[in-house]
Amino acid sequence: MGEQRVPSWTLPPDEEKATYVNRMFAAIAARYDLMNRLMTGGCDRAWRRYVVEVAQLPAGGWLLDVATGTGGIGYEALRQVPDAHVVGLDFTLEMMRVGRDKHRRQGMTFVGGDAIHLPFPDNAFDVVTSGFGMRNVVDLEGALAEQRRVARPGGRVICLEIAPPPKGLWGALYRLYFFRLIPVIGGLITGRPDAYSYLPHSTERFPSPEKLKRIMQDVGLRHVRYRLLMLGTVAIHMGIK
Ligand SMILES: C[S@@+](CC[C@H](N)C(=O)[O-])C[C@H]1O[C@@H](n2cnc3c(N)ncnc32)[C@H](O)[C@@H]1O
């Protein structure tokens, strides 16, 4: 028998994607952080730490974390810059509820909203971050243009994302782990194997790090650069308004 080429799972079409993504994250919210720790062997915390280091958020500065989920980047920003003003935005209230209940006393503000239409004025933030969120939006250029709009002139826009699967032997091993093992583990931990099938498939359509750099430049960000982590499977992009 020939190799099975028909995928057992496909991404939802664009017009249904936002609803699908919203429902999926609502369903896995309670176990989202735990699953991240397991999947990455705890590295996701180091990546968020690095995002905040790159942000160079000034004392008393304003940071917006788009698609904040349970607020991992925002809380890390408050850990590094305790008097900062940190706002997290997401359209899945269940994720933010879990985030809010994690550290009630730490003063992070959670706002319900869509990454494509940020409910903030122009030039409002010193730094705008996103972590593992841009893969999920229907209009990536629109979302990045919005992040640029709400950043102040000279402010930083930072995107932490999974990069498309690499090629070669490492890529084959990575795909085995990401496409076969993760849905099984994710299903056991969260009860939603489909959420952890969506995860690897969503990385395939996401632009390569070079392409993402060009998109960030096209929306008007300057000095865009990126760094690859975890043998090229995770990328952190940074651009300046
Ligand atoms: C993988 S989680 C990332 C959470 C968090 N940033 C982190 O680093 O763990 C993706 C988040 O993006 C949110 N999201 C996806 N599309 C969105 C959109 N258009 N507007 C706002 N939030 C969105 C989802 O609700 C979910 O909470």
Asked whether 197 lines ligand 1 (CB < 6 A), one says no
pLDDT in tens, 41-91: 999 999 999 999 999 999 999 999 999 999 999 999 999 999 999 999 999
Q: Is residue 196 one of the residues assigned to a domain? A: no
Phi and psi at 53, nearest 5°, equal -65, -45
Show the tokens assigned to 197.
Answer: 């099938």
- Type of residue at 90: D
- DSSP class per residue in 168-202: HHHHHHHHIIIIIIHHHHHHHHHS-TTHHHHHHHH
The CA radius of gyration of the chain, in Å to the nearest whole number, is: 17
Ligand 1 pocket test, pick from 17, 32, 68 with the greatest ligand atom count within 8 Å of Cβ, gives: 68
Q: Is residue 74 one of the residues assigned to a domain? A: yes
Instruction: Report the separation in Å between the CA atom of 92 and the middle of ligand 1, taken as the mean of its atom positions.
Output: 7
Q: Is residue 104 one of the residues assigned to a domain? A: yes
Q: Is residue 51 one of the residues assigned to a domain? A: yes
Asked whether 92 lines ligand 1 (CB < 6 A), one says yes
Asked whether 233 lines ligand 1 (CB < 6 A), one says no
Q: What is the CATH number of the domain that holds 108?
A: 3.40.50.150
Show the tokens assigned to 202.
Answer: 């969503």
* Cβ neighbours of residue 79 closer than 8 Å, sequence gap 6 or more: none
Question: pLDDT value at position 4?
Answer: 38
pLDDT in tens, 173-187: 988 998 899 999 999
Task: Let me know the angle formed at the C-alpha of 231 by 169 and 40, rounded to the nearest 5 degrees.
Answer: 105
Domain limits for position 26: 14-163+208-240
Could you give the CA distance from residue 65 to residue 86 in angstroms, rounded to a whole number?
8
Number of domains in the chain: 1
Q: Is residue 200 one of the residues assigned to a domain? A: no
Residue 7 has pLDDT above 50, yes or no: no
pLDDT in tens, 133-169: 999 999 999 999 999 999 999 999 999 999 987 788 8
Asked whether 114 lines ligand 1 (CB < 6 A), one says yes
Do 219 and 135 form a contact (C-beta atoms < 8 A)?
no
**If you take atom 4 of ligand 1, which residue's CA is the nearest one?**
69
Q: Is residue 156 one of the residues assigned to a domain? A: yes
Asked whether 136 lines ligand 1 (CB < 6 A), one says yes
Q: What is the rounded average pLDDT for all residues in the chain?
A: 92
Could you give the CA distance from residue 21 to residue 91 in angstroms, rounded to a whole number?
10
Q: Is residue 170 one of the residues assigned to a domain? A: no
Q: Is residue 176 one of the residues assigned to a domain? A: no
Could you give the CA distance from residue 146 to residue 85 in angstroms, rounded to a whole number?
19
pLDDT in tens, 92-118: 999 999 999 998 878 899 999 999 999
Atom of ligand 1 nearest to the CA of 130: 6
Do 98 and 32 form a contact (C-beta atoms < 8 A)?
yes
Q: Which residue has the tokens 């850990």?
A: 79
